[in-house]
Each structure stands twice: as structure tokens, then as C-alpha cells.
Amino acid sequence: MSRPVFTVHTTDTASAAGRQIMAAVERKQGHLPAAVALLAESPELLKGFFAATAAFDSTDLDPVAREVVVLTVAARNECHLCLAMHTATLTGLGGAPELIEALRDGRELPEPRLAALHRFTLAVLDHRGAVPDHELDALLAAGWKPRHALDVVLGVGAYTISTFANRLVDAPLDPALAPYAWEPAA
């Protein structure tokens, strides 16, 4: 349930800029996600998020690596919506159930190269970018390049916007994401 202060916008209630973004999302996805209807209160937030994610999607990180970064941020920030959405995405990419479960639960990943990326993403979050040399060295030793370290920072930034905004408005899961729902361990 969303907080009463945030409006679940429709094309009738959103600003002109909000309506434009809502229409574009609906065209692309075939439906209007509840989170977008809530976040349309700030079209600038949506524009910024979509621009940042488009830039992140164009990085040199492959799709599975990008999802490792996103799910690491989502798990750390406990965004149930992002966890469900990106579990669905990684599942569609053929992500192994063991990989997905480890990411959702914040555990060590089974594949060493992705585990190094996961640990580095956590280090970026934990140290607010001032990653200790040994963490960067471990990323590079696993076969990643210096540019990938910067790509991780972009992903952390993009998905911090999303996870924080979704949590602020208490964005609900859309019914299609229900099979991918996540609850933190008690």
C-alpha cells in the first residue's frame, strides 16, 4: 500500500511531463507499473532514473553482470520491488537459481568472477566509493577491467535512485511480479 501523501497518478492526474513518461513506459512494457504511477509525481526523478539506467545498460558489463550489480544494490537497500523485478530479469537471462538465491540473501555467489563483482559492488556501497585498494585489486584479479569498476558506480547510482524512491513511496508489486516476491530473512 502506498503512503497517502503520494498519489497513484493516471494520465488524467499527472503533469504533462509525467503523462509523457507514463505513456512511454506503458508503450514499452504493455502496462503501467504501479511504481511509475507513484513516481510520476516527480517526472524529473523518472527521467533521471531512466537516463541513468539506459547509460548503465550500455556499459561494457554483460547483462548478467549488470543484474548482479542491480540485485546487490536492491538486496542491500531491501527494495522488495527491485528484488522481484530483477529476479524476473535474471531468471529470463538464464541465471542459475543458486546465483539468484545468493544475491537475494546477500550470500557469497557460486561463480568466482561474479562473486568478485558482487563483493566490489558491496565495497562501493559500504565505503561510499572510497573502495580500499585490496577490494579493487580483487575485482581486477578476477578478470574485470578498471572501466568495470566505474560502471559499477554508475549502476549503484542508478539503482540507488530506484530503490530509495520505491521505498519512499512504498511502491507495491505488480501482479506479474508476485512469483518473484522476496521477504528479508527474520
pLDDT tens-digit series, residues 14-60: 999 999 999 999 999 999 999 999 999 999 999 999 999 999 999 99
Query: Does residue 186 carry a pLDDT above 80?
Result: no
Domains of the chain, start order: 60-180 (1.20.1290.10)
CA angle 79, 57, 156 (to 5 degrees): 40
Would you state the pLDDT for residue 4?
A: 77
Q: If pLDDT is split at 50, 70 and 90, which confidence band does 11 have?
A: confident
Mean pLDDT of all residues in 160-174: 96
Four-residue CA torsion sign, 44, 45, 46, 52:
positive
SS3 at position 142: coil
Q: If pLDDT is split at 50, 70 and 90, which confidence band does 182 have?
A: confident
Cell of 103: 544475491
* Closest to 136 measured CA to CA, from 151, 123, 155: 123
* Closest to 70 measured CA to CA, from 60, 101, 57: 57
Would you state the pLDDT for residue 3?
A: 62
pLDDT tens-digit series, residues 106-142: 899 999 999 999 999 999 999 999 999 999 999 999 9
Would you state the pLDDT for residue 102?
A: 96
Would you state the pLDDT for residue 183?
A: 74
Cell of 16: 504533462
Percent of the chain with pLDDT over 90: 93
Would you state the pLDDT for residue 145?
A: 98
Q: How far apart are CA 52 and CA 58, in angstroms?
A: 10
Ramachandran region of residue 26, left (φ > 0), alpha (ψ -120 to 50) or beta? alpha
